[in-house]
A and B are shown apart, each in its own frame.
Chain A
Amino acid sequence: MKKNVRLLFIFSVIFSVMFMTACTNNESKPEPSNMNEKQKGTEESPGKVEINFWHAMSGAGQEALDRIVADFNSSQDKYTVNAEFQGSYEESLTKLRSVGGTKDAPAITQVFEVGTKFMIDSGYIEPMQSFIDKDNYDLSQLEENILNYYRVDGKLYSMPFNSSTPVMIYNKDAFKEAGLDPEKPPQTFNEVKATAEKLTKPGEQYGFSMLTYGWFFEQLVATQGGLYVNEENGRAGDATEAVFNGEEGLRVFNFLNEMNKAGTFGNYGTNWDDIRAAFQTGKVAMYMDSSAGVAAAVNNSPFEVGVAFIPYADEVERQGVAIGGASLWMSKGIAEEEQEAAWEFMKYLTTPEVQAKWHIGTGYFAINPAAYDEDIVKAEWEKYPQFKVTVDQLQQTKPSLATQGALISVFPESRQQIVTALENLYQGADPQEVLDQAAEGTNRAIEIANKTKK
C-alpha cells in the first residue's frame, strides 16, 4: 500500500508540473512576438509593422489562408501578418472576450456571421466603414448579396471573408435508377417530398436528409421571405422577440415532419461528417450541405453528384439564401499603424486574384465577383460544374430583410433551441409545439441579453 501511495504522489507531482508548464507556456507565448516586433521596429527595418490575425480555419481552409498570408508578406515590405489558428469560431470568440478592446487584442479577428451583432455591441472593434470612407475604397466591386448581410444601418462593420450558402446535394445515379431526370432536381417542398418517396428504398436508402443544425432552418425560413426575429429581423433595433414560429417556420417543420413520418427522411444527427458519410455511401439520396462542402462531396462520392438550389414552400416565391460563414473584424484600441496594416491586408484579401485562389482552395465564395473571371477559376469550374450552381443561387437571391439574415446577439443559444426542437420533432412531437418552445427559449435569452446590455 505504501508503495502505491508513493507512486501516486510522484504521478500527481508530475501532472501538476506539466499543468503548470502548460499554463506558463500559454502565457509567455505572446511575448516573443512582441519582442520581435520591437526589435524589428527599432533595428532591422524601421517602420515594418507586425500584426496578428486570429482565425478559425482548419484543414484546407488553413492551408489556403496560410498561403495567402505568406504571399501578402512577401508582396510588400511594410507589414507582416501573423496568422494564428485559435480553434473553432466559438473558441476564438471566447479568447477574444478576454483581450478585446485592449492593446493585446489581435489586429484582425475572424468571427462567424452570427457573432456580428455581438461584435458590434462589444465595443472592441473599429467599423470597417471608417476606413472605407477615408480611403475612398470602392465597395461596389464586392458581391452585393454578401455585403448586405454585414451591412448594418448602412454601415459596413466588418470585411466579409469566407462566405458560404446552403445547397441541396443529390445522387444523380440514384435519380436515374428511380427513373427520375437527374438534370431536374426537385424545387419545392412538395416536389422534394414526392422525389424522396421515389428514392427511398426501405432499409437501404433514404430519400432526403438534413443536418440537425439551426442554420439550415434559418435558410429554409429565409427563402420563403420569413423573418427570424422582430424589429425587422433585428436590423431596425434590438430584437425583443423570436418570430420564427410563424407560418414560414411551421411550413419547414411540417415539411420535415411529413417526410420523417413517411419514412423517407433519414436522421443523421448533428455531426457534419456523419451526414456526409451517409450520402457518400449511398444511404441517403438528397441532403442539404454548405456550398463549402460541394468539392468534397463530388470528390469522395463513387457516383455522379448534382447540386441544386435549396427547396422552398409551394405557396411562396423563392427568395434565395442568406449568407453564412465569417467576416474579419478590426480591433479598436490598438496602434494606428497596426490598424493601417490590417486595412492593407484586408484590401489585399479582396482582390480578384486572391479571391480566386481562396475560392478554388476552399469552395467558399469569392467576395469579389471579378474573381470568377480569373482563368484558374474557369478551369476549376470546368472540372466541377457544380460550383457554378452555388454562385448562381447566391446571385439570384432577392435582397430583402429575410435574405439579409437576422441580427441577434444570442444566436448560438437560439440555434441550440432549434436543434432541440428538430430532435423532438423527429421523435414524433407536435411541430407547432416544439417550435413554440424554441421561440420561448430564444425569447428568454434575448430578454437577458437586452436586460444586461450596457
Chain B
Amino acid sequence: MKGSSSLHAKQSIWKKSLNARTALLYLFPSILLFSVFVFYPMFRTIYLSFFLTDQHGSAALFVGLENYAYLLESQAFRNSIKATVLFVLYTVPAGVILALFLALIANEKLKGIGFFRTIYSSSMGISVAASSVVWLFLFHPSVGMFNRLLTLVHLPEVQWLLDPDWALLSVSISTIWLNTGFSFLILLGGLQNIDGYLYESAKIDGAGYWYQLRRITIPMLSPTLFFIITISLINAFQSFGQIDILTKGGPSQATNLIVYSIYREAFVNYQFGTASAQAVFLFLCILIVTILQFKFGERKVHYQ
C-alpha cells in the first residue's frame, strides 16, 4: 500500500510537472544560448572582479573587494559616473521628444509623406562607426562644417570635441541624431496603430488638436513610449562606438563614459579585475534604473 501510494505520488509529481517540463523543453534552446553568451560571461565577470589579473588577463591575485573600494575612491571613476549620468540626461529626453515630434508630423496624411518618413528613419540604416566618422568631419576644428558656418556668421569658432565643456554635448548631439531613426520608426508604428474612430468621436465632441494629443495620442502611445524610453536609457548607458571614434574618452576624461572606461581598462590596460568591477557596477546601475522605471513609469502606461 505504502509503496503504491508513494509511486502514485511520484507519478502525480511527474504528471503535475508535465507543463513545467514542456515549458523547459521549449525554453531549452534559449537557455542554452543565454548560458553560453550571457550567464557564463556574467558570472565570470563577477568572479574576475575580485581578482587582480596578470599580463595574460587571467586571475592572479585574490583581492576581495579591493577593486570596488578602489573604484569608489577613484576620482576618474566618479568622473565617469558623472559623465554617464549627464550623457543620459542629454540624450534620452531630447532624443525621445525629437523622435515623437517627427513621428507626429510624419503621421499626417499628406502627399509624398513616404519620402519624409524614409528620410526621418534613415539614420537607422547607418552604422554607428560610419556616421561617427561623418560627424568627426563636421566637428573638425580647422576644416569642419560647423566651424565654417560659425565663421561665416562671424561667431567665434568652437572646439567641439577638444573643449571639455563642449565635448560631451557634441557627442550627445551625434548620439541623438543616431538614435532618432529607430525611435521615430517605432513611435510612428505606435501612432498608426491608434484607432481612427477615437479621433473621429473626439472631433464630433469638438476637441482641438492639442486636446486630442494630450488625451488620446499620448495615452494610446504610452506603451510604445515606455518601450522607447527604456531602450534609449539602456542604449545611452551602453554607448561606445561614437565615443571611441569621436573622442576616445577625452578631453580631460570629459566623455569617458563607464562603458568606454571598462573597455580601456580591460583591453588597453589589461586590468580585467578593475574592468570587471566597473562592469558589475554598471550592471547594478542599469538594473536599478530599469526596476524603478517599471515601478513608477509603468503606472502611467495605458494598455488597451
- A residues within 8 Å of B by Cβ? 1, 4, 90, 94, 97, 100, 118, 121-122, 212, 267-271, 274, 277-278, 281, 283, 409-410, 412-413, 416, 419-420, 423-424, 426-427, 445, 448-449, 451-454
Contact = CB atoms under 8 A, between A and B. Distances in A.
B60 A452 contact: yes
A56 B57 CA distance: 22
A274 B140 contact: yes
Given A278-B142, A412-B268, 13 more contacts: A212-B251, A268-B142, A270-B248, A271-B136, A277-B140, A277-B142, A277-B143, A281-B142, A413-B268, A424-B252, A452-B54, A452-B61, A454-B60
A297 to B, nearest CB: 15
B82 interface: no
Contact of A427 (B53, B164, B248): B164
Given A90-B268, A454-B54, A423 B142 contact: no
B117 interface: no
A416 B162 contact: no
Contacts of A122: 55-56
A419 B253 CA distance: 10
Nearest to A421: B252
20 contacts: A90-B267, A90-B268, A100-B56, A267-B162, A269-B250, A269-B251, A270-B251, A274-B141, A277-B140, A283-B141, A283-B142, A412-B268, A413-B271, A416-B269, A419-B250, A420-B253, A427-B251, A445-B269, A448-B52, A452-B55
A268 B57 CA distance: 34
B252 A452 contact: no
Contacts of B269: 410, 412-413, 416, 445
Contacts of B248: 270
Contacts of A451: 52, 60-61
B297 interface: no
Q: Which 5 A-B pairs have the closest CB atoms?
A: A452-B60, A452-B54, A413-B269, A423-B252, A283-B142
A38 B250 CA distance: 49
A269 to B, nearest CB: 5
Contacts of B264: 416
A270 B253 CA distance: 12
B159 interface: yes
A118 B55 contact: yes
A454 B162 CA distance: 41
Interface string B263-301: 010011101000000000000000000000000000000
A1 B193 contact: yes
A409 B140 contact: no
Max chain A Cβ within 10 angstroms of own Cβ: one of B143, B159, B250: B250
A454 B189 CA distance: 58
Interface in B142-178: 142-143, 159, 161-162, 164
Which residue, of B54, B61, B193, has the highest number of chain A Cβ atoms within 10 A? B54
A426 B254 CA distance: 14
A236 B8 CA distance: 79
Interface in B193-212: 193
A70 to B, nearest CB: 31
A281 B162 contact: no
A210 to B, nearest CB: 13
Given A4-B189, A277-B140, A413-B269, A453 B54 contact: yes
B161 A269 contact: yes
B288 to A, nearest CB: 26
Contacts of A97: 56-57
Given A410-B269, A452-B53, A270 B61 contact: no
A436 B53 CA distance: 26
A216 to B, nearest CB: 15
B232 to A, nearest CB: 17
A448 B271 contact: yes
Contacts of B140: 274, 277
B55 A453 contact: yes
A389 B143 CA distance: 29
Nearest to A445: B269
Contact of A278 (B57, B61, B141): B141
Contacts of B253: 420, 423
Contacts of A274: 140-142
Most buried by B among A1, A277, A448, A453: A448
Contacts of A445: 269, 271
B252 A427 contact: yes
Q: Considering residues A4, A100, A121, A445, which has the most beta carbons from chain B within 10 angstroms of its beta carbon?
A: A4
Interface string B197-238: 000000000000000000000000000000000000000000
A449 B271 CA distance: 9
A212 B250 contact: yes
A4 B136 CA distance: 35
Contacts of B161: 269
B186 to A, nearest CB: 8
A391 B211 CA distance: 76
A398 B256 CA distance: 40
A270 B136 CA distance: 13
Interface in B244-264: 248, 250-253, 264
B261 to A, nearest CB: 11
Q: In this complex, which of B55, B60, B141, B269 has the most chain A Cβ atoms within 10 angstroms of its Cβ?
A: B55
